[in-house]
């Protein structure tokens, strides 16, 4: 099983709750899920994993580099599987939907701005807060 090897590679013991949560994150239609979303999905699937366990496992996954935690405006954290590829986010202020995007020109310009100010870019996180344009569907 891929989940077992991912857990071992991350230095985590293979347990049923960890495997179930990793499977849920991997197969979910929604890429950015809160701990409550993961818990509800597990309950809907008939899995017996408590909310406290979900929180604990997600924190362990974050520490092991398996997931990335995002704290978008609105107060609650969402998690996504760490796939190694960089992307930025748009968050709809009306619906809370999270849209991933990558733009080479934005990435290039950010590096230029950093260099112009005498720095080296180590990491960044760009989040655009958006609303659907009423004139466009």
Q: Is 107 annotated as a binding residue?
A: yes
- Total domains in the fold of the chain: 2
53 within some domain: yes
3 band by pLDDT with thresholds 50, 70 and 90: confident
Q: What is the pLDDT of residue 11?
A: 87
| Spatial separation of the C-alpha atoms in residues 136 and 9, rounded to whole Å | 46
Beta-ladder partners of 33: 79
Mean pLDDT of 101-127: 94
Give me the count of residues in the chain. 137
29 band by pLDDT with thresholds 50, 70 and 90: confident
Q: Report the run of H or E that residue 124 belongs to, with start and end.
A: none
125 within some domain: yes
135 within some domain: no
137 within some domain: no
Percent of the chain scoring above 90 in pLDDT:
63
Residue of 135, 127, 136 lying closest to 92 (CA atoms) = 127
Taking the model in full, what pTM does it have?
A: 0.80
Per-residue pLDDT of 34-72, as tens digits, reads: 999 999 999 999 999 999 999 999 999 999 989 999 998
Tell me: do 72 and 105 sit in the same domain.
Answer: no
By CB neighbour count within 10 A (0-12 exposed, 13-18 middle, 19+ buried), where does 104 fall? exposed
Q: Is-contact 62 79, C-beta < 8 A? A: yes
| Spatial separation of the C-alpha atoms in residues 62 and 129, rounded to whole Å | 24
Q: Is 117 annotated as a binding residue?
A: no
For all residues of the chain together, what is the average pLDDT?
90
Whether 131 shows a pLDDT value over 70: the answer reads yes
Q: What is the pLDDT of residue 134?
A: 79
Tell me: do 94 and 76 sit in the same domain.
Answer: no
Q: Is 88 annotated as a binding residue?
A: yes
Structural domain containing residue 50: 2-81
Listed as own residue / partner, the contacts of 98-101 with beta carbons closer than 8 Å and 24 or more positions apart are: 98/31, 98/32, 98/70, 98/72, 99/130, 100/31
């Amino acid at each position: 099983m891929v989940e077992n090897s991912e857990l071992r590679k991350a230095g985590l013991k293979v347990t049923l709750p960890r495997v179930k949560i990793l499977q849920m994150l991997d197969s979910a239609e929604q890429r950015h899920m809160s701990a409550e979303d993961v818990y509800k999905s597990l309950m809907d699937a008939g899995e017996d994993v408590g909310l406290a366990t979900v929180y604990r496992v997600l924190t362990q996954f974050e520490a092991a580099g398996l997931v990335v935690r995002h704290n978008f405006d609105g107060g609650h954290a969402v998690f996504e599987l760490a796939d190694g590829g960089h992307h930025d986010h748009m968050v709809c202020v009306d619906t809370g939907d999270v849209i991933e995007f990558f733009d080479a020109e934005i990435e290039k310009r950010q590096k230029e701005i950093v260099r112009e100010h005498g720095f080296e870019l180590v990491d960044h996180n760009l989040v655009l807060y958006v609303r659907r344009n009423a004139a466009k569907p």
